[in-house]
Amino acid sequence: MRILVTGGNGQLASCIKDVSKNENKLQFIYTDSENLDITNQQQVADFFQNNNFDWCINCAAYTAVDKAESDVDIARKVNKDGAKHLAIACKENSVKLIHVSTDFVFDGKSSILYSETDETNPIGVYGLTKLEGEQAIQDTLETYFILRTSWLYSEHANNFMKTMLRLAETRPELNVVADQIGTPTYATDLAQVVVSIIAQDSTNYGLYHYSNEGVASWYDFAAAIFELANSETKVFPIRTEAYPTPAARPQFSVMDKSKIKDCFNITIPYWRTSLKQALKNL
Protein backbone atom coordinates (compact mmCIF):
# COMPACT_ATOMS: atom_id res chain seq x y z
CA MET A 1 0.00 0.00 0.00
CA ARG A 2 1.16 3.51 -0.84
CA ILE A 3 0.59 6.14 1.81
CA LEU A 4 0.89 9.89 1.35
CA VAL A 5 1.99 11.77 4.49
CA THR A 6 1.54 15.54 4.40
CA GLY A 7 3.46 17.74 6.82
CA GLY A 8 6.31 15.33 6.27
CA ASN A 9 8.93 17.32 8.18
CA GLY A 10 6.78 17.79 11.27
CA GLN A 11 6.71 16.04 14.61
CA LEU A 12 4.07 13.38 13.98
CA ALA A 13 5.34 12.53 10.49
CA SER A 14 8.84 12.11 11.94
CA CYS A 15 7.44 9.67 14.50
CA ILE A 16 5.60 7.79 11.74
CA LYS A 17 8.96 7.42 9.99
CA ASP A 18 10.39 5.94 13.20
CA VAL A 19 7.63 3.40 13.85
CA SER A 20 7.11 2.29 10.23
CA LYS A 21 10.69 1.25 9.46
CA ASN A 22 9.83 -2.45 9.60
CA GLU A 23 6.52 -2.20 7.73
CA ASN A 24 7.73 -3.76 4.51
CA LYS A 25 4.27 -3.88 2.92
CA LEU A 26 3.69 -0.15 3.40
CA GLN A 27 5.34 2.51 1.25
CA PHE A 28 5.25 6.00 2.77
CA ILE A 29 5.64 9.11 0.60
CA TYR A 30 6.38 12.23 2.68
CA THR A 31 5.62 15.71 1.40
CA ASP A 32 5.92 19.20 2.84
CA SER A 33 4.51 22.57 1.77
CA GLU A 34 7.31 23.02 -0.78
CA ASN A 35 6.38 20.00 -2.88
CA LEU A 36 2.67 19.80 -2.00
CA ASP A 37 0.80 22.95 -0.98
CA ILE A 38 -2.44 21.58 0.46
CA THR A 39 -3.99 25.06 0.36
CA ASN A 40 -3.84 24.88 -3.47
CA GLN A 41 -6.73 22.68 -4.58
CA GLN A 42 -5.50 22.22 -8.16
CA GLN A 43 -2.04 21.22 -6.99
CA VAL A 44 -3.55 18.67 -4.60
CA ALA A 45 -5.83 17.28 -7.34
CA ASP A 46 -2.92 16.94 -9.78
CA PHE A 47 -0.67 15.33 -7.18
CA PHE A 48 -3.26 12.65 -6.40
CA GLN A 49 -3.94 11.97 -10.08
CA ASN A 50 -0.24 11.63 -10.85
CA ASN A 51 0.38 9.25 -7.96
CA ASN A 52 -1.40 6.10 -6.93
CA PHE A 53 -2.17 6.33 -3.22
CA ASP A 54 -4.20 3.97 -1.04
CA TRP A 55 -4.09 6.13 2.10
CA CYS A 56 -3.39 9.74 3.04
CA ILE A 57 -2.28 10.83 6.53
CA ASN A 58 -2.77 14.56 6.98
CA CYS A 59 -0.13 15.70 9.46
CA ALA A 60 0.01 19.20 7.93
CA ALA A 61 -1.43 21.87 10.19
CA TYR A 62 -1.09 25.45 11.34
CA THR A 63 -0.36 24.84 15.03
CA ALA A 64 0.94 28.20 16.29
CA VAL A 65 -1.94 28.68 18.73
CA ASP A 66 -1.16 32.28 19.74
CA LYS A 67 -0.05 33.47 16.32
CA ALA A 68 -3.27 32.12 14.80
CA GLU A 69 -5.23 34.83 16.60
CA SER A 70 -3.70 37.46 14.29
CA ASP A 71 -3.04 35.11 11.36
CA VAL A 72 -6.61 33.91 10.86
CA ASP A 73 -6.59 33.64 7.05
CA ILE A 74 -3.48 31.49 6.85
CA ALA A 75 -4.58 29.28 9.76
CA ARG A 76 -7.93 28.72 8.01
CA LYS A 77 -6.31 28.04 4.64
CA VAL A 78 -4.16 25.28 6.13
CA ASN A 79 -6.47 23.80 8.78
CA LYS A 80 -9.81 24.06 6.97
CA ASP A 81 -9.20 24.51 3.24
CA GLY A 82 -6.20 22.18 3.17
CA ALA A 83 -8.18 19.44 4.90
CA LYS A 84 -11.06 19.94 2.45
CA HIS A 85 -8.80 19.79 -0.60
CA LEU A 86 -7.29 16.52 0.63
CA ALA A 87 -10.76 15.09 1.35
CA ILE A 88 -11.96 15.95 -2.16
CA ALA A 89 -8.87 14.40 -3.73
CA CYS A 90 -9.25 11.30 -1.54
CA LYS A 91 -12.87 10.94 -2.60
CA GLU A 92 -12.09 11.33 -6.31
CA ASN A 93 -9.24 8.80 -6.13
CA SER A 94 -10.72 6.27 -3.64
CA VAL A 95 -8.10 7.03 -1.01
CA LYS A 96 -8.67 6.55 2.73
CA LEU A 97 -7.88 9.60 4.84
CA ILE A 98 -6.46 9.81 8.37
CA HIS A 99 -6.68 13.37 9.68
CA VAL A 100 -5.19 14.60 12.96
CA SER A 101 -7.21 17.09 15.00
CA THR A 102 -7.08 18.54 18.50
CA ASP A 103 -8.63 18.77 21.95
CA PHE A 104 -8.82 22.54 21.34
CA VAL A 105 -12.16 22.01 19.57
CA PHE A 106 -13.64 22.03 23.12
CA ASP A 107 -14.11 25.07 25.36
CA GLY A 108 -12.71 23.35 28.45
CA LYS A 109 -15.72 24.02 30.66
CA SER A 110 -16.54 20.35 31.24
CA SER A 111 -15.74 18.62 34.51
CA ILE A 112 -15.84 15.13 32.98
CA LEU A 113 -13.96 13.45 30.13
CA TYR A 114 -14.87 14.65 26.64
CA SER A 115 -16.32 12.00 24.33
CA GLU A 116 -16.53 12.12 20.54
CA THR A 117 -20.24 13.00 20.73
CA ASP A 118 -19.83 15.97 23.08
CA GLU A 119 -20.60 19.44 21.81
CA THR A 120 -17.65 21.36 20.39
CA ASN A 121 -17.13 25.04 21.17
CA PRO A 122 -13.60 26.25 20.38
CA ILE A 123 -12.45 29.40 22.17
CA GLY A 124 -9.60 30.34 19.82
CA VAL A 125 -8.80 30.57 16.11
CA TYR A 126 -6.62 27.46 16.13
CA GLY A 127 -9.36 25.27 17.62
CA LEU A 128 -12.00 26.85 15.40
CA THR A 129 -10.09 26.26 12.16
CA LYS A 130 -9.24 22.69 13.17
CA LEU A 131 -12.93 22.06 13.84
CA GLU A 132 -13.80 23.55 10.45
CA GLY A 133 -11.30 21.12 8.92
CA GLU A 134 -13.02 18.19 10.66
CA GLN A 135 -16.39 19.35 9.38
CA ALA A 136 -15.11 19.80 5.82
CA ILE A 137 -13.84 16.21 5.82
CA GLN A 138 -17.09 14.84 7.26
CA ASP A 139 -19.12 16.75 4.67
CA THR A 140 -16.98 15.46 1.80
CA LEU A 141 -15.88 11.93 2.60
CA GLU A 142 -17.10 8.71 4.15
CA THR A 143 -13.81 6.79 4.28
CA TYR A 144 -12.06 8.90 6.90
CA PHE A 145 -10.51 8.59 10.35
CA ILE A 146 -10.31 11.80 12.38
CA LEU A 147 -8.05 11.43 15.43
CA ARG A 148 -8.26 14.21 18.01
CA THR A 149 -5.18 14.33 20.20
CA SER A 150 -3.63 16.59 22.84
CA TRP A 151 -0.35 18.09 24.06
CA LEU A 152 1.88 16.26 21.56
CA TYR A 153 5.59 15.96 22.28
CA SER A 154 8.46 13.76 21.12
CA GLU A 155 12.17 13.76 20.36
CA HIS A 156 11.38 15.60 17.11
CA ALA A 157 10.58 19.22 16.22
CA ASN A 158 9.62 21.87 18.77
CA ASN A 159 7.43 20.89 21.70
CA PHE A 160 6.87 21.47 25.41
CA MET A 161 9.24 18.73 26.61
CA LYS A 162 12.15 20.02 24.57
CA THR A 163 11.39 23.64 25.48
CA MET A 164 11.45 22.81 29.20
CA LEU A 165 14.74 20.95 28.87
CA ARG A 166 16.26 23.86 26.94
CA LEU A 167 15.10 26.42 29.52
CA ALA A 168 16.41 24.23 32.34
CA GLU A 169 19.93 24.61 30.94
CA THR A 170 20.00 28.31 31.86
CA ARG A 171 17.28 28.84 34.47
CA PRO A 172 17.31 27.51 38.03
CA GLU A 173 13.57 28.21 38.43
CA LEU A 174 10.52 28.23 36.15
CA ASN A 175 6.88 29.19 36.63
CA VAL A 176 4.39 26.98 34.77
CA VAL A 177 0.61 27.19 34.50
CA ALA A 178 -1.13 24.74 36.85
CA ASP A 179 -4.83 25.37 36.14
CA GLN A 180 -5.01 24.06 32.55
CA ILE A 181 -5.67 20.33 32.67
CA GLY A 182 -5.21 17.82 29.85
CA THR A 183 -3.06 14.85 28.89
CA PRO A 184 0.50 14.94 27.49
CA THR A 185 0.68 12.61 24.49
CA TYR A 186 3.84 11.00 23.12
CA ALA A 187 3.62 11.43 19.35
CA THR A 188 5.29 8.04 18.84
CA ASP A 189 2.35 6.36 20.60
CA LEU A 190 -0.08 8.16 18.28
CA ALA A 191 2.07 7.27 15.26
CA GLN A 192 1.91 3.58 16.18
CA VAL A 193 -1.89 3.73 16.25
CA VAL A 194 -1.99 5.49 12.88
CA VAL A 195 0.31 2.91 11.27
CA SER A 196 -1.63 0.00 12.81
CA ILE A 197 -4.93 1.34 11.40
CA ILE A 198 -3.33 1.32 7.95
CA ALA A 199 -1.60 -2.04 8.40
CA GLN A 200 -5.00 -3.55 9.28
CA ASP A 201 -6.52 -1.74 6.26
CA SER A 202 -9.27 -0.84 8.71
CA THR A 203 -12.76 0.19 7.71
CA ASN A 204 -13.81 1.32 11.21
CA TYR A 205 -14.23 4.85 9.89
CA GLY A 206 -15.16 7.79 12.06
CA LEU A 207 -14.08 10.28 14.70
CA TYR A 208 -11.84 9.12 17.56
CA HIS A 209 -10.07 10.55 20.59
CA TYR A 210 -6.48 9.51 21.26
CA SER A 211 -4.12 10.73 23.96
CA ASN A 212 -2.04 8.96 26.53
CA GLU A 213 -3.81 7.82 29.70
CA GLY A 214 -3.96 9.96 32.80
CA VAL A 215 -4.45 13.62 33.66
CA ALA A 216 -1.95 16.44 34.20
CA SER A 217 -1.55 20.18 34.31
CA TRP A 218 1.26 21.88 32.40
CA TYR A 219 2.92 22.28 35.81
CA ASP A 220 2.63 18.53 36.46
CA PHE A 221 4.07 17.85 33.00
CA ALA A 222 7.03 20.19 33.57
CA ALA A 223 7.71 18.79 37.05
CA ALA A 224 7.74 15.25 35.66
CA ILE A 225 10.12 16.25 32.85
CA PHE A 226 12.63 17.69 35.33
CA GLU A 227 12.23 14.79 37.75
CA LEU A 228 12.73 12.11 35.12
CA ALA A 229 15.57 14.03 33.44
CA ASN A 230 17.32 14.47 36.81
CA SER A 231 17.29 18.24 36.35
CA GLU A 232 17.83 20.50 39.35
CA THR A 233 15.59 23.23 37.92
CA LYS A 234 12.73 24.01 40.28
CA VAL A 235 9.24 24.51 38.88
CA PHE A 236 6.49 26.53 40.55
CA PRO A 237 2.74 26.46 39.79
CA ILE A 238 1.02 29.65 38.62
CA ARG A 239 -2.50 30.55 37.50
CA THR A 240 -3.32 31.23 33.86
CA GLU A 241 -3.85 34.94 34.62
CA ALA A 242 -0.21 35.21 35.64
CA TYR A 243 0.89 34.14 32.16
CA PRO A 244 -1.37 35.96 29.67
CA THR A 245 -1.31 34.77 26.06
CA PRO A 246 -3.05 36.06 22.89
CA ALA A 247 -5.11 32.86 22.62
CA ALA A 248 -7.27 31.41 25.36
CA ARG A 249 -6.71 27.72 26.20
CA PRO A 250 -9.30 25.18 27.38
CA GLN A 251 -8.99 24.81 31.15
CA PHE A 252 -9.96 21.13 30.99
CA SER A 253 -9.58 19.04 27.85
CA VAL A 254 -9.09 15.46 29.01
CA MET A 255 -10.60 13.09 26.44
CA ASP A 256 -12.38 9.76 26.79
CA LYS A 257 -10.50 7.14 24.74
CA SER A 258 -12.99 4.28 25.20
CA LYS A 259 -14.07 4.26 21.56
CA ILE A 260 -10.62 3.90 20.00
CA LYS A 261 -9.58 1.30 22.61
CA ASP A 262 -12.69 -0.79 21.93
CA CYS A 263 -12.68 -0.47 18.13
CA PHE A 264 -9.00 -1.27 17.66
CA ASN A 265 -8.35 -3.37 20.77
CA ILE A 266 -5.42 -1.22 21.89
CA THR A 267 -3.87 -0.50 25.27
CA ILE A 268 -2.83 3.11 25.75
CA PRO A 269 0.27 3.88 27.87
CA TYR A 270 0.12 6.16 30.92
CA TRP A 271 1.59 9.58 30.11
CA ARG A 272 4.48 9.36 32.59
CA THR A 273 5.50 5.95 31.23
CA SER A 274 5.72 7.37 27.72
CA LEU A 275 7.49 10.52 28.91
CA LYS A 276 10.15 8.33 30.52
CA GLN A 277 10.64 6.52 27.19
CA ALA A 278 10.82 9.78 25.22
CA LEU A 279 13.46 11.20 27.56
CA LYS A 280 15.44 7.98 27.32
CA ASN A 281 15.31 8.14 23.51
CA LEU A 282 16.26 11.81 23.54
| Cβ contact 13:7 at 8 Å | yes
| Amino acid found at 79 | N
215 CB contacts (<8 Å, ≥6 apart)?
A: 181, 182, 183, 254
Cα–Cα distance measured from residue 190 to residue 265, given in angstroms and rounded to the nearest whole number: 14
* DSSP 3-state of 247: coil
Radius of gyration of the chain (CA): 18
Q: Is 126 marked active-site?
A: yes
H or E stretch covering 190: helix 187-199
Q: Of 206, 235, 207, 216, which Cα lies nearest the Cα of 153?
A: 216
Distance in angstroms (rounded) separating the CA atoms of residues 123 and 117? 18
Catalytic annotation, pick one of 30, 62, 114, 126: 126
Q: Is 92 exposed, middle or buried (0-12, 13-18, 19+ CB in 10 A)?
A: exposed
> Which residues neighbour 253 within 8 Å (Cβ) at sequence distance 6 or greater?
103, 104, 106, 108, 114, 150, 181, 182
Catalytic residues: 126
